[in-house]
Amino acid sequence: MITVSLCMIVKNEEKVLKRCLDSIAGLMDEIVIVDTGSIDATRQIASAYTDKIYDFTWTGDFSAARNFAFSKAGMDYIYSADADEVVDEENRLRFMQLKETLLPEIDMVQMYYTNQLAHGTIYNYDKELRPKLFRRVRTFRWQGAIHEQVGLDPVIYDSEIEIIHMPEHNHKNRDLAAFARITESGERLDKRLHNIYAKELFISGEDQDFLAARDFFRESCKDPARSVDEIKEAACVAARAARIAGDEIDFLKYALKVTACEGCAEICCELGEFYLAKRDMDEAILWFYNGACETESILDIRTSGDVPLMGLAKCYHELGDAAQAAAYEEAAAEWRRQQR
């Protein structure tokens, strides 16, 4: 049977840490907790489970903190967990079976991360495989100051274990502030982080977040090293920011840039909102319909689901067609039910 070190980085997690550790502590042969500056009862809670609690001065770099935690592990494998995760009884049994049967050539085990759509995360699906268990003897290094990932080409096993994500709130304010800080410093985001930044804006960003990101994504649209997909997602953000700012010329510039690249549901919804505000119902209905029925989302799945359907409902309310509006409201509600 393999042995496993639990490695966590925490800060002010008193509301959820006990729930997390109660669900997984019995599966672990060692627990390493790295605290990045808690001022609540996090350390006291952690001390009931382990004496391996370390301080790490927060630098704004999640990878640096995770690498420090990994450096303190001593077992065969390292399990990386966040404090807002829970493993239920069925998956505890699966985890124990994995410990008993894992082949020694496996470097990394992926597990399903679930319950994503309920909390406004950056993901457009409720369940996804993520790397969670790492063979310690390999030199795994976390990369990226935010939305960090492990860089290497390991032997991977996809397990059936499910980890339930149960945050008290989403981290959009923290993440978007970090993105703004990174981009304002002049640092270039790679393709993965560029996509995550645009997704997080569309899924949970507020008007001020789009305005703060506007210059970065406008410049991104002009970057010759960006792919067509990156330019398309950048133009979606730039168009939304321009609409919020009331800059119609800039809005149409970036909306046309996206439609020239075959379009997407996000820009259809933006055009729908633009024409709805102009009280041009024919054009608004056309674009909301395209968002719901003719295009696919690239950043936020809701822009090809309930968002354009509710946009259509608003248009028909404005036209005094209560029956048609109610039909689209029910269609939007049914779409949301299907996502659960």
For residues 126 and 142, is the Cβ–Cβ distance under 8 A?
no
Boundary (domain end) residue, out of 165, 182, 205: 165
Q: What string of pLDDT tens digits covers the 340 residues of the chain?
A: 999 999 999 999 999 999 999 999 999 999 999 999 999 999 999 999 999 999 999 988 899 999 999 999 999 999 999 999 999 999 999 999 999 999 988 999 999 998 755 555 555 556 788 999 999 987 667 788 777 777 767 789 999 999 998 887 666 778 888 898 889 888 899 999 999 999 999 998 999 999 999 999 999 999 999 999 999 999 999 999 999 999 999 999 999 999 998 899 999 999 999 999 999 999 999 999 999 999 999 999 999 999 999 999 999 999 999 999 999 999 999 998 887 6
For residues 261 and 230, is the Cβ–Cβ distance under 8 A?
no
- Residue range(s) defining the domain that contains residue 187: 173-338
For residues 58 and 37, is the Cβ–Cβ distance under 8 A?
yes
Helix H or strand E segment including 96: helix 89-101
Model pTM?
Answer: 0.72
Residue indicated by tokens 């994504």: 217
Q: Are 79 and 212 part of one and the same domain?
A: no
Residue indicated by tokens 């779409």: 335
Q: Are 71 and 185 part of one and the same domain?
A: no
Measured distance CA(138)–CA(77) in Å, rounded:
10
Q: Which CATH number characterizes residue 197's domain? A: 1.25.40.10
Q: Are 141 and 38 part of one and the same domain?
A: yes
234: Cβ contacts below 8 Å, ≥ 6 apart: 194, 198, 217, 218, 220, 221, 226
